[in-house]
Amino acid sequence: MPHSAVSHSGVPKPGRRCPARKHRDVVDCVVIGGGVVGAAAAWQLARRGQDVVLVEQFDAGHTRGASHGSSRIYRQTYASTPYVELAGEALRLWRELETETGASVLQMTGGIDHGDQELVAELALSLARHGIDHRWLGSDEAMARWPGMVFDGPVLYQSDRSGRINADQAVAALTAAAVGRGADVRHRTRVSAVTVCGPDLVEVETSAGSVRARRAVVAVGAWTEALVGGLVELPPLRVTQEQPAHFPVLGAGPCTPLRHVGWPTFIHHAGPEQGWPSGVYGLATEEGCVKVGFHGVGPLCHPDRRSFEPQPAQLRRLQDYVATFLPGLDHQRPEPISCTYTSTPDANFVLRSQGPVAVGAGFSGHGFKFAPALGRVLADLSAGVIDEQPLVPTG
């Protein structure tokens, strides 16, 4: 997952040269960051027969970044073709990962969109254009189908390519698959510097010594600017502490088994015009509660100096939302959770390379679903197959 580090210039400073180390091997690629995207990149690189070292500053399964927890949304409901295609590739790779590891990572539950009708209609046109099954439901029909949910106008329902990814299991499976292919994974290994020593040589200084590699892949989320801002051109990256919460199902005890919740994943395309801070997303969790959150409106934060505490006013607004649109949940008993978002101004991903360094960043809010395909893109960037993966704005 992300690493806190100090940015260094891509060219060795005068008087600070990359030393020749006769007794230290040079690996094909060092992957910095053991979250979902870094682990996916390590898997993809190792599948290609490369000698890979992955370094991660925290323990496996930590909660300091953006890849932890039990629930992320998978969907192909995007207005832009590159994202639809990338999500389709990711679905194939998620299934390959499950076959390779025996893990159960992705469960299809169906997914719905409602709210801003112009935007939702655009999503429906995209689904039709790509031959993805979907249908419209009236709000009364949808409320009869999913008691406990209230809808803002007609509902776009996609049944078979939308669902829930178990985030913790996904990261663990990707890491295990990388190790199974020969990758060397090193947790509790903090990176302090990345130095480009030549067109085919990078030196990464870590708390356990240096790693020399022909290429480096950097996928460190909120720590990206600090680590490689001087090596690769980056757009402004906004780091926030997001504050979704788990809400129990009314009348079902603290949490009820997931199979009894029966809700699809959902996106409510709302915002300040409707009196809410932003759009809202939600999905049933592995434990049977429902995770609900506003999108990208948490306070700015430094990844090493987070409070992990929800803002009371924002939590109250989330409870108000649940009481209004999700009356089947107990809005009075939220269980707040915390994660970092690292976002670009247009919500596009950063996928580019400069010299021997490839960087993936800005995935927050909708990147997790794409992770195995993002790993493939970063592997291609590392190999010099492409210099950048262009993705148009998501709208």
**Per-residue pLDDT, 364:** 85
**Predicted structure pTM score:** 0.91
**Per-residue pLDDT, 385:** 81
Tell me how long the chain is: 395
Beta-bridged to residue 247, according to DSSP, are 290
Compute the average pLDDT of residues 92-112: 98
Decide if pLDDT at 283 tops 60.
yes
What is the Cα–Cα distance from 243 to 340, expressed in whole angstroms? 9
**Per-residue pLDDT, 393:** 44
Beta-bridged to residue 292, according to DSSP, are 245, 282
What is the Cα–Cα distance from 251 to 237, expressed in whole angstroms? 42
**Per-residue pLDDT, 288:** 81
Compute the average pLDDT of residues 204-227: 97
Q: Check residue 71 and give left, alpha or beta (phi > 0: left; psi -120 to 50: alpha).
A: beta
**Per-residue pLDDT, 36:** 98
**Per-residue pLDDT, 258:** 52
- Indicate the DSSP class of residue 310: P
pLDDT, tens only, 136-147: 999 999 999 999
Can you list the alpha helix ranges (DSSP code H) found in the chain?
A: 36-47, 81-101, 117-129, 139-145, 167-180, 224-228, 258-261, 312-325, 371-383
Q: Residues near 215 by Cβ (< 8 Å), separated by ≥ 6?
A: 28, 29, 30, 200, 202, 356, 357, 358, 382, 383
Compute the average pLDDT of residues 231-243: 94
What percent of the chain is predicted at pLDDT more than 90? 83
Counting beta carbons within 10 angstroms of the beta carbon of residue 384, is it exposed (0 to 12), middle (13 to 18) or buried (19 or more)? exposed
**Per-residue pLDDT, 148:** 94
The answer to whether the CB of 287 falls within 8 A of the CB of 70 is yes
pLDDT, tens only, 33-65: 999 999 999 999 999 999 999 999 999 999 899
**Per-residue pLDDT, 390:** 64
**Token representation of residue 161:** 């390519």
Same fold, 1-106+165-235+346-395 and 111-159+239-343: no
Q: How confident is the model at residue 388 (pLDDT cuts 50, 70, 90)?
A: low
pLDDT, tens only, 313-368: 999 999 999 999 999 999 999 999 999 999 999 999 999 999 999 999 999 889 99
First to last CA, the chain: 28
Decide if pLDDT at 392 tops 90.
no
What percent of the chain is predicted at pLDDT more than 70? 89
Residue 193 main-chain phi, psi, to 5 deg:
-160, 150
**Per-residue pLDDT, 386:** 72
**Per-residue pLDDT, 70:** 86
Mean pLDDT score of the chain, rounded to an integer? 90
**Token representation of residue 265:** 């994943």
Q: How confident is the model at residue 259 (pLDDT cuts 50, 70, 90)?
A: low
Q: CA nearest 212: which of 199, 189, 195? A: 195
Level-2 CATH architecture, domain 1-106+165-235+346-395: 3-Layer(bba) Sandwich (3.50)
In terms of average pLDDT, the best of 12-16, 255-259, 326-330 is 326-330
What is the Cα–Cα distance from 104 to 130, expressed in whole angstroms? 27
**Per-residue pLDDT, 17:** 44
CATH superfamily placement of domain 111-159+239-343: D-Amino Acid Oxidase, subunit A, domain 2 (3.30.9.10)
Beta-bridged to residue 195, according to DSSP, are 203
Q: How confident is the model at residue 10 (pLDDT cuts 50, 70, 90)?
A: very low
**Per-residue pLDDT, 253:** 58
What is the Cα–Cα distance from 366 to 97, expressed in whole angstroms? 20
Q: Where are the domains of the chain?
A: 1-106+165-235+346-395, 111-159+239-343
pLDDT, tens only, 366-386: 999 999 999 999 999 999 887
Compute the average pLDDT of residues 183-191: 98
